[in-house]
């Protein structure tokens, strides 16, 4: 188990860090301003984003997430980990490097399971950052943490599939550039449990696709990206839009979720690191009751505890990444489940301490803490709630004693 960084990775870390300092952090406020100056926060993507994307592409900081060497950077999960962590430090960073969810997961699905035609039509513009995509799996009416509950139907009708169902948390659908959804639904309710579901490509301008509303996250609308509730009403797409084959929905989801989950974890560690950094800087300057907050024992305890938790979470992420690279996503499932539980909880604790150290400023948007807390909180639910992952870990542990 070798966690050392190759020279290539070290160069990328260095380059990426410089880019963050020069172009990302100083533009976080610019992004917010541009967003708020528009007619509505949903009208358009703040222009700064496309400017920065161009710069990132020029620097070669582009599609680093994709292990596929033909389409992406060809980095292993372990190599990508420190880079993704750095991107996670800023809410606006991942997209600038074309490494933001759910596009990353969708691109990975298309790269691994898509037909040549699908790749040409959808993967390439996504890789170029020309369009965006969303992923329609979760449904409001059932506990979607148990994927067998998914009710949307995908019915073959001649040369077409007809899709009907209600989805929500289709993140990214608010973006004016979002052109396509990957939809999960049942093609065959009578098949064995794990072969009932399929994934299919649905262009968002297909008749019958209706974006009902945007959901908020702890008061954040996350415009213009957004989290959409979408009704698919008798939506017809050509039969060629099915991904891989009928009944492969589960298999694809498994393949998609492993990397998706660990990317979230890497970003969360970056968010936690930044919160710790902000907290340290703050407490060294702020004075109460005759000394700086940094001199208060309780604050020191928070800093130590945060450093300890981050360090352990990062090591576990690296181990999971290493195992995905060496023994595969399936054999690494305990590790992926563990880090999926650990990373959001660590980030939440560290960010919460930082908020407390900032006082009232901490809950506002003057510092990025509250926003990052809210995003981290969703990740105790997204891609499976903590409890489902823990039940899985326990099951695997108990199995050792059969």
Q: Which is nearer to its own copies, 61 or 348 (CB)?
A: 348
Please pick, from the candidates 37, 130, 146, 212, the single residue that binds its own copies as defined by CB under 8 A: 146
Site size with its own copies, rule: CB under 8 A: 89
Convert residues 156-195 into a mask of x (bound to its own copies by CB under 8 A) and - (unbound).
------------xx--------------------------
What are the CA-CA distances from residue 130 to residues 11, 95, 121 (Å)? 27, 12, 12
Q: Cβ 120 to its own copies, closest distance in Å?
A: 34
Which residues in 285-344 contact its own copies (CB under 8 A)? 286-289, 293-294, 296-301, 303-305, 307-308, 311-313, 315-316, 319, 334-335, 338, 341-342
Note whether 374 binds its own copies by CB under 8 A: yes
DSSP readout, 169-190? EEETTTSTTEEEEEEEEES-TT
How big is the chain by its Cα radius of gyration, in Å? 21
Please pick, from the candidates 144, 196, 197, 241, the single residue that binds its own copies as defined by CB under 8 A: 144
Distance CA 382, CA 377 (A): 9
Which residues in 3-22 contact its own copies (CB under 8 A)? 3-4
Under 8 Å between Cβ of 1 and 319: yes
Q: Which is nearer to its own copies, 156 or 307 (CB)?
A: 307
DSSP structural state of residue 131: S
Q: Which is nearer to its own copies, 70 or 285 (CB)?
A: 285
Please pick, from the candidates 136, 138, 197, 198, the single residue that binds its own copies as defined by CB under 8 A: 138
Q: How far apart are the first and last CA of the chain?
A: 28
Note whether 398 binds its own copies by CB under 8 A: yes
Task: Classify each residue of 316-348 as buried b or exposed e, where b means 16 or more C-beta atoms within 10 Å of its C-beta.
Answer: bbbbbbbbbbeeebeebbbbbbbbbbbbbbbbb
Please pick, from the candidates 177, 211, 280, 325, the single residue that binds its own copies as defined by CB under 8 A: 280
Note whether 276 binds its own copies by CB under 8 A: yes
Under 8 Å between Cβ of 90 and 20: yes
Convert residues 342-371 into a mask of x (bound to its own copies by CB under 8 A) and - (unbound).
x------------xx--xxxxxxxx---xx
Half-sphere exposure of 100 (CA within 13 A, CB side): 21
Please pick, from the candidates 245, 281, 327, 328, the single residue that binds its own copies as defined by CB under 8 A: 281
Distance CA 322, CA 53 (A): 29
Q: Which is nearer to its own copies, 44 or 361 (CB)?
A: 361
């Amino acid at each position: 188990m070798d966690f050392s960084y190759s020279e290539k990775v070290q160069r990328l870390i260095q380059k990426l860090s410089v880019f963050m300092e020069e172009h990302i952090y100083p533009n976080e406020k610019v992004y917010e301003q541009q967003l708020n100056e528009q007619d509505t926060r949903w009208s358009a993507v703040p222009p700064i984003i496309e400017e920065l994307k161009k710069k990132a592409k020029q620097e070669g900081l582009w599609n680093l997430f994709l292990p596929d060497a033909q389409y992406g950077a060809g980095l292993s999960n372990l190599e990508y980990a420190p880079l993704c962590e750095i991107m996670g430090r800023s809410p606006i960073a991942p997209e600038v490097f074309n490494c933001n969810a759910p596009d990353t997961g969708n691109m990975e699905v298309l790269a691994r399971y898509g037909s040549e035609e699908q790749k040409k039509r959808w993967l390439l513009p996504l890789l170029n950052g020309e369009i965006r995509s969303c992923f329609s799996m979760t449904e409001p009416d059932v506990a979607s943490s148990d994927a067998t509950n998914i009710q949307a139907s995908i019915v073959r009708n001649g040369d077409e599939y007809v899709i009907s169902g209600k989805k929500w948390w289709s993140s990214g659908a608010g973006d004016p550039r979002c052109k396509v959804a990957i939809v999960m639904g049942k093609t065959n309710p009578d098949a064995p449990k794990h072969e009932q579901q399929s994934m299919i490509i649905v262009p968002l301008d297909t008749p019958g696709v209706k974006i009902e509303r945007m959901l908020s996250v702890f008061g954040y609308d996350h415009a213009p990206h957004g989290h959409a509730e979408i009704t698919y009403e008798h939506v017809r797409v050509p039969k060629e839009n099915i991904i891989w084959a009928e009944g492969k929905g589960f298999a694809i989801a498994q393949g998609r979720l492993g990397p998706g989950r660990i990317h979230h974890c890497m970003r969360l560690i970056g968010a936690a690191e930044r919160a710790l950094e902000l907290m340290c800087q703050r407490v060294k300057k702020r004075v109460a009751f005759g000394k700086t907050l940094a001199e208060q024992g309780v604050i020191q305890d928070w800093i130590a505890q945060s450093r300890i938790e981050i360090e352990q979470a990062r090591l576990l992420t690296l181990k999971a990444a290493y195992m995905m690279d060496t023994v595969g996503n399936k054999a690494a499932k305990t590790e992926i489940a563990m880090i999926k539980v650990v990373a959001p909880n660590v980030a939440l604790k560290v960010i919460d301490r930082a908020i407390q150290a900032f006082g009232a400023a901490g809950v506002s948007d003057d510092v990025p803490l509250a926003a990052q807390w809210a995003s981290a909180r969703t990740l105790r639910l997204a891609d499976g709630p903590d409890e489902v992952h823990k039940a899985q870990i326990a099951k695997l542990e108990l199995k050792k004693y059969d």
